[in-house]
Amino acid sequence: METRLSVNINKIALIRNARGGNMPDVLKCAVDCEKFGAQGITVHPRPDERHIRRQDVIDLKPIVTTEFNIEGNPKEPFNKLVLSVVPAQVTLVPDAENALTSNAGWDTVKNKEYLRGICKMFKEAGIRVSIFVDPNPEMVANAAECGCDRVELYTEAYAKGYRENREKAIEPYFKAAEEAVRCGLGLNAGHDLNLENLRYFAQTIPALLEVSIGHALVCDALYMGLENTIQAYRRQLK
């Protein structure tokens, strides 16, 4: 089974917003990513709209032909936006409004009742629900009790420890993945995965369905071009 690559286009929108106007064109970039081999498009709109804007999300829905994944903290108006767009997947991420980027997974024990209600709401709308968690079997097991379909493992710790000792860095992820399989959950992963560390992660983690990659992929595209970069990431997943 080949792990699917979903390209996070937040950084494309960030570049556009730095100068105003519509260069680069976020919608065209999404279409081109799919044409070049991306198997999904991910966006993570934040309240300050510093990169992906609400209107981008609305405009992307009818043109994404692979799989549309919207990430974010399930508060209003995020929930209203997701329910109006109805993507294939919503990924619940507990990021603070002023966070530079996602920096922790959910505590699915303390937030179980809250997350259970959120999962029910989105699933009733026909949206697959994934919960962003640290590589901790307890958090995975309790995510399953929230009623989600998948968990997304937060891979920053793996990426940081990869060069020093990749076997040690991936060990908690393997255990978390085993727990996800035991609980009947689908398994996604994302954050700081790149061309150096992706292949080992994908080959080692059982039943990995999807990775979401944005920052590293866009950085590589500056040198390699977007089409070559997407194909390079796809090769790491085969």
pLDDT tens column, 48-89: 999 999 999 999 999 999 999 999 999 999 999 999 999 999
Helices (H), the chain: 10-19, 26-35, 54-60, 78-85, 112-124, 137-146, 156-161, 166-183, 198-204, 215-224, 226-236
Catalytic member of 34, 67, 71, 152 = 71
2 is catalytic: no
Catalytic member of 44, 51, 152, 179 = 44
Least confident segment among 52-61, 94-103, 127-136, 158-167: 94-103
Both tokens of 220, joined, read 């590589």
Both tokens of 104, joined, read 């922790």
Which of the four pLDDT bands, split at 50, 70 and 90, describes residue 98? low
Task: Give the residue numbers spanning the domain of 214.
Answer: 4-236
Strand partners, 92: 72, 131
Catalytic member of 34, 179, 191, 210 = 191
Please count the other Cβ atoms lying within 10 Å of the Cβ belonging to residue 5: 25
CATH code for the domain of 123: 3.20.20.70
pLDDT at 172: 98
Q: Which amino acid is at 232?
A: A
191 is catalytic: yes
44 is catalytic: yes
Nearest Cα to Cα of residue 146 among 136, 134, 132: 132
Number of domains in the chain: 1
What spatial distance separates the first Cα and last Cα of the chain, rounded to whole Å?
8
Mean pLDDT (whole number) for 82-108: 87
